[in-house]
Amino acid sequence: MRRILLALLLCCGLSEGQQAVAPVAGEPANLGAMKARLIQYHACTEPDCYVPQMERQAELASRFLKQSVAAAQPKDKLALVLDIDETSLSNWTVELHDDFGYIHNDSDWCIALHCSPAIPSTLRLFHEATKAGVAVFFITGRPEGQRADTAANLKAEGFDHWQELYLRPADHPKSQTTIEFKSGERAKIVAQGYRIVLNVGDQLSDLQGEPQAEHSVKLPNPFYLIP
């Protein structure tokens, strides 16, 4: 045993009494390392990176849209539902500035300055829908008080017209979940006689609950979670 220890000291530069590192079993991923990985994921261009994944999901959504338009009857009122943040507009600049910590004032500041650029793959889907006569509805968890700034940002970024923009009312029940709010707005669309053929969002809570769209497409967003 003593010989083995001496061999280790000679070979590996360990001093007597120093131990090799014993890792912690089941330790969660390191936060600093995860942030670095997310920044790389957002910037890289390989197939498993953010932008290529966004493009692929938009292509999938586009295929669903084309199928629905081709199969529709003349009387059908078709609708596309889009979320806004990280679906139609990107808040990456603020996320990076705040080191992935949501700071309410910074987010509000960006909305007030209309600082969010369009997400190109969703903008293409938007134009494809409007050209095909599909009505576009935005449903966002942003508060009603941000309607004018949100509309101005969307228009400035090329989302030039839509059927309706639903924001969360100031007097919404405090216990209301995102799924309850968004599915409730979808119910209003269905009540107007529309078939929601496609719903696109970056959170599962954009897509779950009844009524659901005929096709729902989840975009990648490992940067934050809205349950």
Residues at the interface with Mg ion (CB under 5 A): 83, 85-87, 202
Closest separation between CB of residue 223 and Mg ion, Å? 10
CA distances 2 to 6, 11, 12, 16, 144, Å, are: 6, 14, 15, 11, 74
195/211 Cα distance (integer angstroms): 10
Instruction: Give the torsion through C-alpha atoms of 33, 38, 39, 45, to 10 deg.
Output: 130
SS3 93: helix
Q: Nearer Cβ to Mg ion, position 85 or 185?
A: 85
Specify whether the CB–CB gap between 206 and 199 falls below 8 A. yes
166/61 Cα distance (integer angstroms): 21
Closest separation between CB of residue 77 and Mg ion, Å? 25
Which residue of this chain has its Cβ atom nearest to Mg ion in the complex?
Answer: 85
Closest separation between CB of residue 205 and Mg ion, Å? 9
Specify whether the CB–CB gap between 192 and 81 falls below 8 A. no
Q: Nearer Cβ to Mg ion, position 95 or 195?
A: 95
Q: Nearer Cβ to Mg ion, position 78 or 141?
A: 141
SS3 140: strand
Strands (E), 90-190: 135-143, 164-168
User: Encoding tokens for residue 222?
Assistant: 């490992």
Closest separation between CB of residue 107 and Mg ion, Å? 12
Closest separation between CB of residue 120 and Mg ion, Å? 16
Q: Nearer Cβ to Mg ion, position 64 or 223?
A: 223
Q: Nearer Cβ to Mg ion, position 83 or 195?
A: 83
